[in-house]
Structure formats: structure tokens, C-alpha cells
Amino acid sequence: MDKLPVALTIAGFDPSAGAGVLADVRTFAAFGVSAVAAVTSLTFQNNREFFGAVHQSGATVRSQVESLTERYSIVCAKTGMLPTVEVVREVALLFRDENLPAPVVDPVLMSSSGKQLMEDAAVSVLTNELFPICRVVTPNIPEAEKLTEMQITSEAQMRAAAAQIRKSGARAVLIKGGHLSGDLSIDVLDDGGEISVFRGERIPGAELHGSGCVLSAAIAAGLCKGMTLKNAVADAKSFVLEKLRKVVGGQLSVTSRKRPENQ
């Protein structure tokens, strides 16, 4: 571990290991990056249903992170489930106080089964205090709609939503288009006003619990290894695509990270 770049994830614990810190750690390992983690919430779920959670206090999250920064030099970071105002605010303070690298922020608002994972009041704190210090925010379509109060049904609306989220202070925004209809999976990256559109294969019938966690962790890992954000996103999309192919084929391992077409 002392010889590899170290990536930090601050997220929830999913006992099914499909999402949260366990999925992040597996993803970091697949990219050859060492992982450390702080847990924000102990959730009760499997890959189909979310039953509940016990959230950590801000002080508990801080103690976890401070014990890690005492020993390791963190090269990159990502955040996932930040359930309460207290936790969001403490995480934002930690990134400033500990001089941590600008994180990839996955704004986990709802579970895939439709259960709320973040307090309504915490959303504005996330936007005002964490977005301005992150490297990129990675909402899916429903999350982007909640963050912008826009309806998003097209690529043009994805671009508009990304621009609006960036106005809140985020340096870059990746709108994930998996919820749109069509033969292609379209993601839109707005990095400081520079737009990249990633068009990839959509695999019919493929459902992957925790795919958003895996994608954001893969982006962080790419940044950890010195990639540009655009290349890190392309590599991460390829990684998730191969994972979806494995799921459809009944296999669990993922080794390929061929980049999708982007423009």
C-alpha cells in the first residue's frame, strides 16, 4: 500500500457490497490504486431493496478520516452517500481542514429502489459547501432533475442542467444519461464550460446495483493515476460497460477497460 497511490472514499456501507464503500474499494483495486474508507451510514439493503439505515455523526466521520490522513497521503477522493446536514457539512470542512484533493462527488439522493438517502435539508448544504470544492459532480438524470428543478429528457437538456449545476460553484459536472431512452447511453461532461459527450452501447436488460458508485470511484481512480478528467470519465464508462456485459452474461469479474467513443 505504501508504494501505490492512495484513494479515499467517504460513503455508506452496503452489506450486499454492490454499492457504497465496498464497491468503491473493489473499483479502486481494479485500477491498481490503494483504498482507504470512511463510513457515513450503515445501511440495511440488498441488491433489490433498501430497508433502512443508521447514520454516523459528523464527529465519527471526522475521526475516521483524521486517522487515515495521519498515516497516508491521499492522492484522490470521492464521496457517496452523505445522509444528513451534519455529515455533509463535516465532510466539506474535512476537505478544507485536511487539505485533501478535490473529490469526485456522487450526489446519492435516492436508492435504486426509490428510497430517500439524503435529508432534503442536506441537499442545499451539499450544493453550497461541497460542490464548490469538488473536481466533478456526477448526478444521474433523477438527481440532476432534483438539483436543478428541471425536466431532463434530451441531450440538450442534459447540457443545460450541467451548466446550471456548474453555476452553483462546481468546477465540472457529469450528467449520466442511463435513465434516458434510446439505443445509446449518453453522458454529458461540462468541465469549466468545455463540453464532452460520451456515446456508448446500451445493453438491453442490464441492471447493476451500485453502478453510479462504481463509475464515480473509477473516475477518482483515473484521476489518482494522473489522467485528465475527460480521459478518466471515458475509462470509467468503459469499466462500467464491461461490468454490465459480465452481469448479462452471468459473470462477476471485470478486467477490460476499453474506452468508449467520445466527442
For the stretch 150-205, pLDDT in tens is 999 999 999 999 999 999 899 999 999 876 776 778 999 999 999 999 987 776 65
Rounded to whole angstroms, the Cα distance separating 83 from 232 reads 27
Query: Which are the contacts of 74, defined by CB distance < 8 A and separation ≥ 6?
Result: 6, 7, 8, 36, 68, 100, 101
State residue 89's pLDDT score.
Answer: 98
C-alpha cell at 55: 447514520
Distance, CA of 202 to CA of 176 (rounded, Å): 13
Q: Please say if the pLDDT value at position 98 is more than 80.
A: yes
Looking at residue 111, its pLDDT comes to: 80
Which one is the CATH code of 6-248: 3.30.1330.10, 3.40.1190.20, 3.40.430.10, 1.10.357.10? 3.40.1190.20
CA dihedral 203, 172, 57, 22 (to 10 degrees): 30
Q: What backbone torsions phi and psi does residue 225 show, to the nearest 5 degrees?
A: -95, 10
Q: Report the pLDDT averaged over residues 108-137.
A: 92
Q: How is the chain split into domains, by residue range? A: 6-248
- 206-225: per-residue pLDDT in tens? 566 778 899 999 999 999 99
Q: For residue 86, what is the enclosing H or E element?
A: helix 85-97
Averaged pLDDT for residues 47-58: 93
Residue range 28-33: average pLDDT? 95
- For the whole prediction, is pTM greater than 0.75? yes
The confidence score (pLDDT) of residue 68 equals 96
What is d(CA 50, CA 66) in angstroms, rounded to the nearest whole number? Answer: 30
What the block records as the C-alpha cell of 51 is: 430497508
